Amino acid sequence: MHPILKLLAQRLALGIVLLFAASVLIFVGTTILPGDVAQSILGQSATPQALANLRTELGLNDPPVARYFAWLGGVLQGDLGTALTNGRDISESLGGRFRNTMFLAFWAALVSVPLAILLGLIAVRFRDRWPDKLISGITLTSISIPEFLIGYVLMFFVAVKLGWAPSVAMINDSMTLGQKLNAISLPVAVLTLVVLAHMMRMTRAAILNVMQSAYIETAELKGLSTFEVIRKHAFPNAIAPIVNVVMLNLAYLVVGVVVIEVVFVYPGMGQYLVDHVSKRDVPVVQACGLIFAAVYIVLNMVADIVSILANPRLRHPK
C-alpha cells in the first residue's frame, strides 16, 4: 500500500478509537457527578415524594453499564435521546444550537484566518521593523486580556455609548442574513481578537523558520523580491504548522466560546451545555460532550492529514 494511504488509514482508525474512548470518559464523568437530575430539576422545591416519583419516571434506577450501552446504541443510530429536564428531543434542540455555534465560528474564522495569515506575512516581510512590532504588540495585548473583558469593553463603547451594534447577539431563524450578521458583529470581533495572535505568531514563526533554509537563499540570489520569496517559496513549505494552529483555533471557536456566548447571550452550544450541566441533565451533557470531542478529533485529524499530504518526503517515497 502507498505509505500515504497507510498513514491516512491509521490516522482515521485512531480517530475512531479516540472517539470511543471519549464516549466512555464522558459517560463515566457524568455518572460520578454529585447530586442527581431529579433533585436539580425540582431544586429547592423538592419534596421526598416528588423526588422519588421523578426518579422512577426518568429511569435513574437502572445500572450504569446498561445505561451506557443503551445510550451508545442510540447514538450510533443517530438518536441522542430526550432531555430529562423538559422532555425535548436532544437532536432537535441541539441541531439549532449547533448550527448557531457553527455560524458564529464560521464568520469568526472567515475574518480571523485570512487576517492572521496576512498579518503574519506582513510581519515577516517587515521583520523587526515597526509594522512587525506594531502587529505583534496589538495581537499579544488582545490575547493577554481575558475575553470577557474585551467583550464588556466593546459592549460598553460600541453598543451602549455609540449604539452601532446590539449588545445582545440573539439570532433566530426569522432574521435575514444581514440582521444576523449585525447581531453577531460584536462577538465576531471579540473572537477575532482572541484567536488572531496565536495564528499570526505561528504563521510568522513558521515562515521565518523556512526562511532559514538554503533554497530561500537561492531564491533570494535569483533576485526575487522579498514578498515573492515569501509567497512562492516560504509560505507553501510552512503550510503544515500553519494549518495545525488554524485547526486548533477553529476547534476553539466551536467548543471554547462559552464565555462569549454567555456575555453576548448567543444561543449556541456552550450555553446549552452549561445549563444542562447545572441541572444534571446527563443525556444532554453526554451529547454535547460527544459532539465537542468529535469536533476536536476531526479538526486535529484534518490538520494531521494536511501535514502528511504536505510532507514531500512522504509524497515521494524512495
Residues that bind another protein (CB under 8 A): 33-36, 39-50, 53-54, 57, 83, 85-88, 93, 152, 155-156, 159-160, 163, 166-168, 170, 172, 262-265, 267, 271-272, 275-281
CA angle 241, 231, 239 (to 5 degrees): 15
DSSP secondary-structure letter at 89? Answer: B
Angstrom distances, CA of residue 215 to CA of 123, 154, 218, 224: 21, 46, 5, 12
Contacts of 311 (CB under 8 A, 6+ apart): 240
Asked if 81 and 71 touch (Cβ cutoff 8 Å), the reply is: yes
Residue 200 has which C-alpha cell?
499570526
| Pick 4 or 262: Cβ nearer another protein | 262
| Pick 37 or 245: Cβ nearer another protein | 37
CB of residue 265 to another protein, shortest distance in Å: 5
The secondary structure of the chain in percent helix, strand, coil, rounded to multiples of 5, reads: 80, 0, 20
CB of residue 287 to another protein, shortest distance in Å: 12
Asked if 141 and 132 touch (Cβ cutoff 8 Å), the reply is: no
> CA–CA separation, 102 vs 270, rounded Å?
12
Asked if 264 and 185 touch (Cβ cutoff 8 Å), the reply is: no
Residue 135 has which C-alpha cell?
502587529
| Pick 263 or 295: Cβ nearer another protein | 263
CB of residue 119 to another protein, shortest distance in Å: 30
CB of residue 284 to another protein, shortest distance in Å: 8
Residues paired with 82 in a beta bridge: 89
| Pick 157 or 215: Cβ nearer another protein | 157
| Pick 69 or 157: Cβ nearer another protein | 157
CB of residue 80 to another protein, shortest distance in Å: 14
CB of residue 310 to another protein, shortest distance in Å: 41
| Pick 34 or 312: Cβ nearer another protein | 34
